[in-house]
Amino acid sequence: MKRPADQIALPLDWPQTEDESRFIVSDANREAFEHFRRLSMWPVKVTILTGPRRSGRTLLARTFVERVGGRLIDQADRRDEEEVFHAWNEAQDSGLPLVLVADEAPPAWSPKLPDLRTRLAITPVASISPPDDALFMALMQLLFADRGLHVAPEALRFMGERLNREYWTAERAVEEVDRYAIAERARVTLPTIRRALSASKMIGDAA
């Protein structure tokens, strides 16, 4: 029996683990992933890590500093410039690496503090790109698994072919499908996914 239409399915806080196994490697992020495997080759003990929001950039940086020791400054391009400057110098003095996660790298990130601007100009940059086909579908599969849901490959392909290829879109789509399935007491099948994404206006009615 379906729920009455005026009842709303409430989201649950599904448990998630924040370990390195959650970082899915593909062509979209392989170069950045490998960069953190080659610490001995860094010209300075600092790296700027950029990429779209929700791309796993902070997770990659966090697991790196936890593994080797060091420091992470998230949203570094929005932090106090003196703080970032001193952290950069401290990394060179201590030998412990610093990762600066930012939306943009120099020259787009151009601090007003001249000494920081000079240091960032010689800092290597690792970048994560928008998700490719393999990463986008693997990410949705992982997000469904977080909720205890198994989704058939053809359903994942359907989502991958019709949704905008962005990290946050994968999260929203999985959330919308799960909400719809709970509200309708339906199994997460391709027809359910089609109806859920259409109802949420994430795809067109004819998709």
Chain centre distance of CA 201: 23
The helix or strand, by DSSP H or E, that contains position 102, with its residue range, turns out to be strand 98-102
**pLDDT of 20 strictly over 70:** no
| pLDDT tens string 156-196 | 999 999 999 999 999 999 999 999 999 999 999 999 999 99
Predicted confidence (pLDDT) per residue in 35-62, tens digit: 999 999 999 999 999 999 999 999 999 9
Q: How far apart are CA 140 and CA 175, in angstroms?
A: 10
Q: Are strands 98-102 and 46-50 parallel, antiparallel or unpaired?
A: parallel
Strands of the sheet containing 46-50, edge to edge, are: 71-73, 98-102, 46-50, 125-127
Q: Are 169 and 143 in contact (CB under 8 A)?
A: no
Q: What is the pTM of this model?
A: 0.84
Confidence of residue 7 (pLDDT cuts 50, 70, 90): very low
47 three-class SS: strand
Largest CA distance in the chain: 67
Burial of 38 (0-12, 13-18, 19+ CB in 10 A): exposed
Q: Which domains can be identified in the chain, with CATH numbers? A: 29-127 (3.40.50.300), 131-199 (1.10.8.60)
Q: Which of 70, 68, 73, 59 is nearest to 19 (CA)?
A: 59
At 68-77, the pLDDT tens digits run: 999 999 999 9
**95, pLDDT greater than 80:** yes
> 25 vs 21, 65, 158, CA distance in Å?
10, 18, 22
Nearest to 48 by CA among 119, 96, 115, 112: 119
- What is d(CA 173, CA 181) in angstroms, rounded to the nearest whole number? 12
